[in-house]
Chain A
Amino acid sequence: MKRLLLLLTALLCTGHGTFAAAKPPPQPTPPPEVTADSLVRVNSTNQSYDFFRPWTKKAPSVRRGLGVVVAEDLVLVTAELVTNRSYVELENATTNAKSAADVVSVDYDSNLALLRPADKEVLKGARPLALDDSARVGERVDLIQLESNSAVAQTPGTITTINVSPYPLGQLALLTYRISSPLQGRDGSFVIPAVKDGKLLGLLMRYDSRSQTADVVPSPVIAHFLADAKAEKYEGFPRVGLGFASTRDPQLRRFIGLQDDGGVYVTAVRPGSAGEKAGLKKGDVILSVAGKNIDQDGNYDDAAYGKIPFSHLTSTLASVGDKLDFVVFRDGQKQTIPVTLEAANPELVRSEPYIFDRAPRYYILGGLVFEELSRSYLQEWGSNWPKEAPQQLVALDAFQDEDTSREPGKIVFLSQVFPTGNTVGYENLQHLVVTKVNGVPIKSLDDLAKAAAKPEGGFHKIEFDDDPPFIFLDAAEAEKSDEQIRQEYGITELKNLN
């Protein structure tokens, strides 16, 4: 569009040339082309763990994408490309030189990962791309793919929407560019860079071929990630830990005596979060954040993108450790509450939203297999897991933030039973949440391992928050059956507490 406009101007100028001959037309500088020098093929062989059989990995699968060189020896890809990686390989697009690569940083909230080749030769002569910071709705961009002969294939697209939306892997909603573009399937298209004027605009994270829309991790999120990756300790994207609802309902506004036009109603403050530490409470109405007024839906007016949710201020534009002022309306009064932003604290999470790149924890005691609840475990039931997985566990995962009564810790449950002489009568027990073992309260598998070392009167007593309320195991027999499980079921490791 822009180029066309320039061309037209040039033509008009020449047209008028005869009348105004003195001025030569300005030479339009063509935007720098993105060449194969800035791109590198990335092949990642991934193997996810089997949460039903946490001692095994599933069959490997290969994902191919196009990484972007962002520094002399650093390549940016989406985290999804290298999730549960066993081996990552870089391939120079022109020389076809290959090298293994290490993952320097990976962030599943922002869906980004940074790779560094073991052999720097593979990036020799590479031209790092700078980040774009000028994208606006309606502008033309290009999506970059490589043909098999390494020719750069550019598919034009238009930014139709810029908003904050949930990311595929983590729990955060972050800035997203939605681009309308008729992409073709090409080899190595798991990651597709989007560029504008020769700069990196973002990385494609999902594409819907029916509506021909691509969602892109945009440059502001990439900038945050790259800055964090440079720091000594990777902090990641901060979060306040709030749930909120719109205050559009005038009856609600009058009931709480809200005079201002905007504001959102705080419905939940996650226990232990930055918001709770700062003193935010359920029922507060957030009127402004970091000096920006918040409207009835939780949006602020961004200079570049217009109305977008205020979490862009707290998660992407700010960093861990920053202090942001929240002005809240509480009990008829306005007050300013400074919130010091924090990273997600996995200790506070009772059921982890994802477990990638590491084996699930488990503990086998006399044929009983215990695991800690996580979303990844539930997702083993397939795409319809919220309905297919055991509802008791789905509810514990979904409503974990509402549980303020219990101390932090994990949810330990009996996931399955190996039929052995020791477990006769227990074969059908599964998905039972463990409360105590040998009288000791269980808040993690480590607790369980410790408790299992101290049987009482020759028995292990395992208590459940369910029906049956408890079972017993013979402690001496349990030890013997360990060997049987190793031999007959071929499980070499009877625990993983790492």
Chain B
Amino acid sequence: MFGRCFWVVCAFLLPLTCLEAAKVANSLVRIQVTSQEPNYRAPWGSGEVIGGVGAGFIIANNRIMTNAHVVSNGRFLLVSKEGDPKPYLARVLYVAHDCDLAILTVDEPKFFAGTSALEFGGIPAIETSVSVYGYPIGGDRLSVTQGIVSRIDFQPYSHSGVDSHLTIQIDAAINPGNSGGPVMQNGKVVGVAFQGYSGDVAQNVGYMIPTPVILRFLKDIEDGRYDKYVDLSVSYHPLHNPAMRRALGLTDDDRGVIVGDVYGKGNSDGHLLAGDVLLTIDDLPIASDGTVTIDNETVEMAEVVERKFRGDKVKFTVLRDGKEQEVTVPLNHPWPFTLQANAYDEKPRFVVFGGLVFQPVDANFMAEHAPDNLRLRYYFDHFISQHLYKDREEIITISSVLSDPVNAYAGDFRYDIVDKINGQPIRKLSDVAEALKKPADYYVIEVIGQNRPLVLEKQAVDQARERILTRYGVVNEQRL
């Protein structure tokens, strides 16, 4: 079946592509985005305005599908069709940063007249040919490139930086401007082009989001809200070692993986334990390398959870203390630790007090500040793996000191992690605002590690307040 399909495609390759191009041109849109990047160094500021171009395509119900990263931080969206000179104002209906997809619409009904909605196909077979449509750099008009399906695998999605989903690698180049464009085979959409490697790293490696991910997104938003992916929030390890298997009471049947860590506040917290051996997931046997077989395809065990939605459950057979038992994990919320994910469409949060800028540390902050401070980097990188979240919801740091007589000696505290203010533990940014609101003669800020307390006199802070806000153009003192 696989072989036959391949030959059929080859025989009709040329005419089919021509047909496709004509049809896709009817559905393809060019998206011009004006976005505003938040400034994590001056978090009260409005941020830099930049422009960009991406692709999108029309799907059923007068909707346009594109990548989340095309419209992220968007302030003003214009879409235009092939053969129609008029740009139309568009708006975002749904955006899924965890799988880099977004749905737009255009309110002017005229826009969709004469267009045709594209339909979705399945997972294209390896070695079959696909066509990529979009507006990549090199010109302004529609561009089509062709490639073959090289690999189907779990891959990280670079938009959020922390999510991995099913991805299809193709050997057609995917360049800036291709993003959001459809990848077609046999007249149907088999993926959305979304990321590639720069030529310095690898040649002819492009990635597209395959239809299982796209269809899951479309199903998720059917209720009018995007609930994100749900996640087990555990780590697990293959069980290949014979001694390990025997010590755990397992036979030589190459089944089961061992849970390495269960992250607090995650869906599995209170249901699974580190050291549990997972034998089945939803009655599918788990192989010792962590894969399961669905529809004759071998996929990561996580794929079972990937296909579920908020509120669903997942059932395990677990070997715990030498006894098999059933454990049901309710999938009530997404991955709980957002600080390591790139954030979009959010304004930076901060508190300014006495010229000290307090900010929570997250991926955006780290990307902009790139601090050398070992402790801050360690807290950020190991927040989850070393369970630092048990002590604090957020990592609060003094990100900069707006120089003024009141803070003349506070320079050493930059990038230190705030532990207490006037004895109040600081576990999240709002704790800072609260602690600084309470009347006191002195505000005593204690940091983690070996440093003196940072002391600010209330009187001095009050006198400095207007001076600092005016001098540094701080238009608001906090955003929580």
Contacts and interface: CB of A to CB of B under 8 A. Distances in A.
Interface of A: 243, 245-249, 251-252, 254-255, 265, 267-268, 386, 391-392, 394-395, 398-399, 401-402, 422-426, 457, 459, 461, 466-474, 477
Interface in B412-426: 412
B261 interface: yes
Given A395-B378, A399-B375, A461 B240 contact: no
Interface residues of B, number: 41
Contacts of A474: 242-243, 246
Nearest to A255: B455
Closest 7 CB pairs of A and B: A425-B240, A249-B409, A474-B243, A472-B247, A425-B241, A245-B452, A268-B450
Nearest to B243: A474
A245 B455 contact: no
Contacts of A246: 409
A425 B442 contact: no
A252 B240 contact: no
A391 B455 contact: no
Identify the interface centre among B237, B243, B442, B444: most chain A CB within 10 Å of its CB.
B243
A425 B258 contact: no
Contact of B374 (A255, A398, A468): A398
Nearest to B238: A425
Contact of B260 (A245, A247, A424, A467): A467
Interface string B334-376: 0000000000000000000000000000000000000000110
Nearest to A269: B450
B293 interface: no
9 contacts: A247-B452, A252-B454, A252-B455, A255-B455, A265-B452, A395-B382, A425-B244, A459-B243, A467-B235
Given A422-B243, A459-B243, A469-B261, A391 B452 contact: no
A251 B386 contact: no
B37 to A, nearest CB: 26
Contacts of B460: 251
B452 A426 contact: no
A283 to B, nearest CB: 9
B385 interface: yes
A147 to B, nearest CB: 44
A246 B410 CA distance: 11
B452 A252 contact: yes
Given A425-B240, A472-B241, A472-B244, A399 B449 contact: yes
A469 B387 CA distance: 13
Contact of B453 (A252, A391, A398): A252
Contacts of A461: 247
B375 A471 contact: no
B377 interface: yes
B374 A423 contact: no
Contacts of B261: 467, 469
Interface in B362-412: 374-375, 377-378, 381-382, 385-386, 408-410, 412
B449 A402 contact: yes
B244 A251 contact: no
